[in-house]
Amino acid sequence: MRPARALGLVLAFAALPCLADEVRVVSGAPDEVSVTIYRDLFALITETRTVELPAGAVTLEFDGVVESLLPQSAVVAGTGRELSETRYDYEKLTPGSLLRKSIGKTVTLTRTHRRTGKVTQVEATIVAANKYGVTFRTAEGNEAWQCSGLPERLTFSEIPDGIEAKPRLSIRLAGGEAGKRQVRVSYLAHGFTWSADYLGHVDAGAQRMDLLGWVTLRNLTGASFRNAQVQVVAGRLNLLDYEEDGTSLVGDTADYSSDEHLREALREAEEELADEFDDSAHFETVSSCYPQGPPAFGQVMTKRDSIGVVDAITAEDIGRFSDGSEELEEVIVTGTVALREKLADYQLYRLPARTDLNARQTKQVAFIRKQDVKIDRFYALRLADEAFEEDMIEEEGDRLHPMIRIGWMNQQADGLGEPLPGGRVRIFDGRHDSAVFAGEADIRDNPVGAPVEFAIGFAQDLTLIPKLPEDEEPQVNWLTLLTRRVSLPMELLIENRKSVPVDVEVRQGQMLQLTDIRVKRASQAPGRKAGDYLWRITVPANGAAHLDYVVSGRNSRED
């Protein structure tokens, strides 16, 4: 065990970061890259690089890191030296940064006469350049750029210091033995995401499904990786707001009560980020002037809009075409299946072979294929107050249509028994090429041994006609006054216009203003499910079935 070192002693800065005698070693490109993509719009990039270190103190610079790297997450291992300082201050070359960094520098101003084509060139010094405009000085005096109405072009002789063509992470190392080292540079970077997309081909009669799961991974950044080891992590990490030095672009993840809300926020952030990484969408020069021209027009603003921006491909689109359409530029890796392993309390899926992950690319690889999974495809309807507000049932006058639900137990005996990362499930009726799209739903992370249940749509040829208790006042008599219990008789008629008999699950949930609910005098003995009372009613083909019961509860309104 090594005791933690005292802080004051270790804070060894060099006097100035850029002394002339400082030794700089530049590492051009990594030998190997591993990219681990998370669902929360970031990736862990791990680079292996070989560097030749001199004996003395040295500043080691890593070129070609991913631009969106989070400096506070950077870790460099394997130098064998004491590391004192890490720096990442990448200023991208843009028209704005070029002008800002050229303040005080001499540039050439070229004016071209529109009619005669006469070219005049003068030396100019940039006096000020900010988002409100550019001011320069020539032998004649001070002028504002692009305010005269003449075509005016600025020419720079060089790119000013402090603007980098490539993102660069630099570290300062203490002196030590000279020699070749293999170092590992790892950091988190925004702009990567992945989702799980499932295709379920259902044979309703046999209650079986063939399940195919794809990992759809997406690189929104401008960085390309050659021959990279790629893996994705399935799990909900605790992440904190990026604005407060965390990693999450959607605020603290713990603040999202449900996976659905988190996923929704991430989808929105993903589109924003895709735009942000698309540099052409943000091409805009600083050019703004003093008031001039006819008063009605006020201040003249010159702004160059984006050129040739291609709409980003959304994850949604990819999912929609995920069964083989070649309209999009994604690469579908077929024939191989990503390999799963446990990582802490998450699942990690590793792409089986090294692959190129290019800028703004979407890639898909299968991670699960299961045949003949035992499922439960059934019709269900839940009677509770919130049922009318939520999407559990669809109201149509007095008639209610049950939902088509699919459920399974994730266990080997039923043909599954593999962890299923949460994602979108698209269900097709039929197990063959002629399968018909039947609906989709999002599932949450489904561990082995746990059930999944989701709705894919409404059954239009099944109706439930309730005689709901709202229709009449609860019966009040001396007994109800004494015990404060009320009874609501429920009479349900379920009609089946299908040519086959069906099972309909009816659930009695909580009712507003009633607590301590109990079901009594039911025409068929109820079971229980998630606190609700439950019946499975078999409705004959082209026939009907009845269910009658009484909900007894305590009137909480009088409390």
Q: Which of residues 67-126 bind other proteins (CB under 8 A)?
A: 71-75, 82-89, 91, 103-104, 113-116, 118
Gap between the Cα atoms of 500 and 539, Å rounded:
9
236 contacts other proteins (rule: CB under 8 A):
yes
54 contacts other proteins (rule: CB under 8 A):
no
Gap between the Cα atoms of 382 and 532, Å rounded:
9
Nearest to 360 by CA among 321, 317, 312: 312
Find the binder of other proteins among 320, 346, 370, 414 (CB under 8 A). Answer: 346
Say which residues have a Cβ less than 8 Å from residue 535's Cβ, sequence separation at least 6: 505, 506, 507, 522, 524, 526, 527, 547
* Other Cβ atoms within 10 Å of 338 Cβ, number: 21
Q: What are phi and psi of 253, to 5 degrees?
A: -70, -25
For other proteins, the closer of residues 18 and 436 by Cβ is: 18
124-127: long-range contacts at Cβ-Cβ below 8 A with a sequence spacing of 24 or more?
Answer: 124/154, 126/99, 126/102, 127/103
Residues within window 147-176 making contact with other proteins, judged by CB under 8 A: 147-150
317 contacts other proteins (rule: CB under 8 A):
no
Burial 211-222 (b: 16+ CB within 10 A, else e): bbbbbbbbbbbb
Judged by CB under 8 A, the number of residues near other proteins is 115
Gap between the Cα atoms of 150 and 264, Å rounded:
49
239 contacts other proteins (rule: CB under 8 A):
yes
Find the binder of other proteins among 56, 78, 80, 447 (CB under 8 A). Answer: 447
Q: What are phi and psi of 387, to 5 degrees?
A: -60, -30
186 contacts other proteins (rule: CB under 8 A):
yes
Tokens 């300062």 -> residue: 172
15 contacts other proteins (rule: CB under 8 A):
yes
Residues within window 459-498 making contact with other proteins, judged by CB under 8 A: none
CB 118 to other proteins: min, Å: 5
1 contacts other proteins (rule: CB under 8 A):
yes
Tell me the per-residue interface mask from 401 to 440 with other proteins, x by CB under 8 A, - otherwise. Answer: ------------------x---------------------
* Other Cβ atoms within 10 Å of 471 Cβ, number: 8
Across the strands, what pairs with 124? 107
CB 205 to other proteins: min, Å: 26
For other proteins, the closer of residues 236 and 401 by Cβ is: 236
Tokens 């890259």 -> residue: 33
234 contacts other proteins (rule: CB under 8 A):
yes
130 contacts other proteins (rule: CB under 8 A):
yes
205 contacts other proteins (rule: CB under 8 A):
no
341 contacts other proteins (rule: CB under 8 A):
yes
Gap between the Cα atoms of 219 and 230, Å rounded:
11
For other proteins, the closer of residues 212 and 348 by Cβ is: 348
260 contacts other proteins (rule: CB under 8 A):
no
CB 204 to other proteins: min, Å: 22
8 contacts other proteins (rule: CB under 8 A):
yes
Applying CB under 8 A, the span of 303-311, 364-372, 491-499, 525-533 interacting with other proteins comes to 525-533
Say if CB 108 and CB 122 are below 8 A apart.
Answer: yes
- Looking from the CA of 343 toward its CB, the CA atoms found within 13 Å total 16
Gap between the Cα atoms of 370 and 387, Å rounded:
34
140 contacts other proteins (rule: CB under 8 A):
yes
322 contacts other proteins (rule: CB under 8 A):
no
